[in-house]
Structure 1
Amino acid sequence: MRKITQKIYSAAFFLIAFTSSAQISTGTGGAASILANNPSTNTNVGIGVTNPKAKLEIAGFPAISTTYTFLNEGDGYDKSRLLNIGTLRENSTSTNGARLLTFYDVPPSNISPNATTMLAIEDRQDANRLRHTAIANGSSFFRLSDKTQTAFVDIFDDGTNVFFDLPKSGSYLTVGGRAVWPVAHNFWVKTGTSKFDHDVFIDTNLCIGTSSFTDGSTTYRLSVKGKVRAEEVKVYNTWADYVFNPNYALPSLKEVENYIAKNGHLQNVPSAKEITQNGLELGEMAKIQQEKIEELTLYLIQQNKELTKQNSEIEELKAQVKILLAQKK
């Protein structure tokens, strides 16, 4: 009896030692599919691998260069599923028994000439939350989705270009810190600096040193609180050439004098109070100043005409006086 017991213990020990370093064949045969690793000292578990290099190693289709035949794309994924972990999905019948975490290694086939890998994670409500696909010698794609299957992170590489999208409204990206609700800006650099080596296009408004781009009822594309320095500023505006129109009502210098005495500034020129309250509009002020320069030019032309006429009259008087003096002699 003791010998029989010892044999049973020895057999059990052998089986435990054997299976602790087992290689699991993908063929049929039940217990016969569990084989010793080669070498047998290898304690890793391999499925379809005789010498696994990791604690768990699973082999896919053996030949990389072979083109396999599938009924359709879904059939290719079903037969290429290497990992199937977690609870069965609600639609596991239509997905051929897929679970919450799956990894696929799809070889080249009659459906697609390029091999494809895909990692997918679903939640318990059967909503896909993470998906990554990579096509051999082709594009790759990564997506995170919410509970409604709306994508909120998309990263796509077409081999030349990379697209990083946050397509869901209400997306916020914070750099150099963490966003605390309510988040003030959809894109926020909290520490460090931002640099753009190429062109920047803004379709709305830009604020520097201020959070407001309105002044009264006027909206400004660029609002700066602080000093602005530039080598050149170009302003598009109407100009004051209407002063030279023959129908322009040029006020007399007496009218100008009376207006200044009454208002303390030139006509059409904002007062100091108005500038202090409303600011100085460069384009409009340049036009007003040009208006006054052109009016001054007209005044000078008038005075020059009067002086020319007076000089002519003086010269005529001189000639007459000279004649009279000559006659007296």
Structure 2
Amino acid sequence: MKKSALIYGLLLSGIFGYAQNTFPTGVGTNVGIGTTSPSTRLQITSATAGTSGVRLTNMTSATATTTGNSKALSVDSNGNIILTPVLNTASSAQNIYNTDGTLTSNRNISLNSFNLNFNVPTAGSNLFINGTNGNVGIGNVLPTTRLDVTGGIKAKTLWASNTATSATSFPTSLDYMKNSYVLGAGYEMTDPNFSGGVRRMINFYDYHAWSPEISANDDLFSLNIVDRNNKERLVFYGNKSGGPSNGQSNFIIQNKNAQEIFKLRDDGNDNIYLQMGRANSRFILGGYGDYAPGVGHKLSVQGGSAFIEGNIITHGNIGIGSTTFVDGSDSYRLSVKGALRADRVRVYTTWADYVFFKDYSLPSLEEVEQHIKVKGHLKDIPSAKEVEANGIELGEMNKLLLQKIEELTLYMIEMNKEITALKSQIKN
């Protein structure tokens, strides 16, 4: 009885399965699997939505390798359906995710406003390309300029990583310059210092002593900024200590014609120079170039004072509260408008000792009296009106005053003689 039930169940199963499949043998008829009414030559209907209901096993591929992102159906030369892996090979597009490969021709990638982001295990070390504006970010995914780097940038000269040991490794100056070029940015133009060379608006060079132009043990660095007319506007260069130049540093600002207007130099021996060699150079402290009282002056200090511990030496004139150095036909080295205060004043001038010479014509007291009556002042002494109008020469005035004192002394001596004679006559 049990055996009969089992056979009956198998029979029903076969009938049921047959009801779900159609296997006609006629030419041009349709075949259905999972359906009794196929609409095409082969129709497979799956019992699960989203699943094809087809699974191929133990199929081989014409390609020996079995690696790849996935597999695809293909038809071999005999018309058989086979599985082939989708691989990165030299004859197909390279798979940058799972395998290495070599490009055999140029490739163009169109981002179409989609960003390209290369993530690495270290946080904040992305290489990011914005698909809309083309900005590139290194270390960040929000680049605001063509290249936006979060972190350091390292660059070095070619000779630093090369096996060269002497200048012969670089047969020409141009070769050496190219191997010493560390950084360049901005508009490109010809380099007037090296025939056939180019430079940009910002340039940094690391010249090694192997160069024919650089003396032994005197490595040189150079930074310059060039305008679009190929004129150097800023130059900063120096060399290491020990060479013939002895570790000097030079910072130079030049005008539009590449002529020096400002230079700060250390000659390597602690001698520091600040020079502004152009004829119209001016140095302004506490103000600006349009400071009216300072216009035209080489040194202008606005709203402050200057403290100098050393000597002040000038071959010109000094004005204190005054810019006038000529009075009549006379010129003065020091011109002061206002009071002058000093502990001592020394004046070099001629003196009045000629009064005591035998040939000196001493005026009589009667002549002195007459001159005072007529002129209102002593002979040879300027009047009050003259002094008010023209001032006095301190040295000259002291000499004139001494002259009158010496004349008075002679009068006193003469009067003393007369008094002595009168006393003698009275006594006798």
Deviation string 1:87-145 (CA, Å, 9 cap, x unpaired) is: 33345661512233210112343633122110012222222211110111211001111
1:1-329 equivalent positions in 2, closer than 5 A: 11=95, 42-43=125-126, 54-60=151-157, 61-62=159-160, 68-69=166-167, 76-91=176-191, 94=195, 96-109=197-210, 111-137=215-241, 138-159=247-268, 160-180=270-290, 183-315=295-427, 317=428
Count how many residue pairs are aligned between Structure 1 and Structure 2: 289
3-state secondary structure, aligned to 1:310: helix
Deviation string 1:233-257 (CA, Å, 9 cap, x unpaired) is: 0000000011111011100000000
Query: How far is the alpha carbon of 1:186 from its aligned partner?
Result: 1.9
3-state secondary structure, aligned to 1:56: coil
3-state secondary structure, aligned to 1:57: coil
> Alpha carbons of 1:270 and 1:6: their partners in 2 closer, same or farther (altered >3 Å)?
farther
For the Cα contact (< 8 Å) 1:129–1:149, is it kept in 2?
A: yes
> Alpha carbons of 1:185 and 1:11: their partners in 2 closer, same or farther (altered >3 Å)?
farther
Structure number having the greater helix percentage: 1
Partner Cα distance (2:196, 2:357) in 1: 83
> Alpha carbons of 1:6 and 1:284: their partners in 2 closer, same or farther (altered >3 Å)?
farther
Partner Cα distance (1:74, 1:139) in 2: 25
Partner Cα distance (1:53, 1:67) in 2: 36
Partner Cα distance (2:93, 2:291) in 1: 64
Counterpart of 1:48 in structure 2 is none
Structure with larger RCO (C-alpha < 8 A, sep 6+): 1
Q: In angstroms, what is the RMSD of aligned CA positions?
A: 3.6
> Alpha carbons of 1:279 and 1:9: their partners in 2 closer, same or farther (altered >3 Å)?
farther
For the Cα contact (< 8 Å) 1:90–1:125, is it kept in 2?
A: no
Partner Cα distance (2:407, 2:175) in 1: 87
Partner Cα distance (1:73, 1:43) in 2: 39
The structure with the largest alpha-carbon Rg is: 2
Of the structure 1 ranges 288-297 and 129-138, higher mean CA displacement relative to structure 2 is found in 129-138
3-state secondary structure, aligned to 1:112: coil
Query: How far is the alpha carbon of 1:171 from its aligned partner?
Result: 1.1
3-state secondary structure, aligned to 2:322: coil
Partner Cα distance (1:11, 1:247) in 2: 124
For the Cα contact (< 8 Å) 1:77–1:106, is it kept in 2?
A: yes
Partner Cα distance (1:289, 1:263) in 2: 17
> Alpha carbons of 1:167 and 1:95: their partners in 2 closer, same or farther (altered >3 Å)?
farther
> Alpha carbons of 1:69 and 1:173: their partners in 2 closer, same or farther (altered >3 Å)?
same
TM-score, normalised to structure 2's length?
A: 0.60
> Alpha carbons of 1:289 and 1:73: their partners in 2 closer, same or farther (altered >3 Å)?
farther
For the Cα contact (< 8 Å) 2:350–2:399, is it kept in 1?
A: yes
Q: Percent identity?
A: 34
3-state secondary structure, aligned to 2:225: strand
Partner Cα distance (2:410, 2:173) in 1: 85
For the Cα contact (< 8 Å) 1:83–1:103, is it kept in 2?
A: yes
Partner Cα distance (1:14, 1:122) in 2: 47
3-state secondary structure, aligned to 2:187: strand
Partner Cα distance (1:234, 1:150) in 2: 47
For the Cα contact (< 8 Å) 2:319–2:335, is it kept in 1?
A: yes
* Aligned residue identity for 1:149: A
Partner Cα distance (1:112, 1:262) in 2: 90
Partner Cα distance (1:75, 1:299) in 2: 98
For the Cα contact (< 8 Å) 1:67–1:113, is it kept in 2?
A: no
Partner Cα distance (2:322, 2:97) in 1: 77
Partner Cα distance (1:154, 1:278) in 2: 47
